Structure 1
Amino acid sequence: MAELRQLLAGSGVDLEEWGGEVEETGATYAENAALKAVAASTATGLPALGDDSGLEVEALGGEPGLHSRRLGPTQAARNAELWRRLAAVPRPWRARFVAVLALARPAAVPVDYFEGRVEGELLPEPRGRGGFGYDPIFLLPDLGRTFAEFPPAEKHRWSHRGRAAQALLASGVLSSIE
């Protein structure tokens, strides 16, 4: 939520956390994001943003994908499991982050979707202290840094969630929200 607040700062939209729990049963990032957005909008009677994201590793057929957070109980365990699965695979370990934001409004159909993607490579050990999740092992080769090595404002320019937020802002749809 803190990252979304930073990304949408200055947009005129006041983000509040709903606090409800939604089971991620969708088959896609968009479906999971919509489940969250629709549930929050229905519960509050207000427009709501839902988001879902994941890490897709080329050599693993796109896994862990939707299950990125379920790969282990802690981020260290998730990283270790990724490295275990990639142990016999030659580097570079190409990967992408994908994020989808879904905007739902009370009684409005359809839900609006905004997607961001970023291509990169996984590293065999973490670098950097910023960010969260897989950020310390996700390298942007052209920039030579992991997401964990960027200050937040700079990370937002390059990140999958930043790109999804940029698409949302560019759409103009937020200006129609009261």
Structure 2
Amino acid sequence: MDNKLQHIAIIMDGNGRWAQERGLPRLEGHRAGAGQIRQVASAARRLGLKYLTLYAFSTENWRRPPSEVQGLMDLARQFSRDNLSDFMDNGICLRTIGRIADLPAALQNSLGEVCEATRDNHALTVILALSYGGRAEIVDAVNTILASRPSTRSITEQEFRQYLYAPDIPDPDLLIRTGGEQRLSNFLLWQLSYA
């Protein structure tokens, strides 16, 4: 059995609390956290990982104050624009999972452009989970199945997996959560079963 890691998932947590503890606005903590992504992706490449999934914005995060949500959306858009050349230079493919249609149109467009531009890169695939919730993913998969298959037929786990947001990405081998908490926070509930 090969014990080499190929996929690490990270719950990017604690950035707002980090900023507040230092007397800074929460958005400064999110900005500092986003600034670490390039270093984390570089380390992932050096380790020989093929996939890095980053839980950046949950479906529950929409309940935060509107100014914080807007700041996070702007930060995600800036991240996608500012890192395109780095992704291209380092063979990084960017993908997204989540309810992307819920994001502002400008962010959807920016992410779509970067994902399209990097789709043939194969050194590392970075998956940004935005407007993502594990329960939402499972519900979306079930609704897609119900819309496309006769309701009387049962399905296997392997068939069900094909309806998840990124069925071609292997399950994470390891989950890391920054910020000190020890919980899944509705992240990759199906995929983290054996991490």
Both structures adopt the same fold (TM-score exceeding 0.5): no
With CA pairs under 8 Å and 6+ residues apart, which has the higher RCO, 1 or 2?
Answer: 2
Name whichever structure is richer in strand by fraction. Answer: 1
TM-score by length of 2: 0.28
TM-score by length of 1: 0.30
Name whichever structure is richer in helix by fraction. Answer: 2
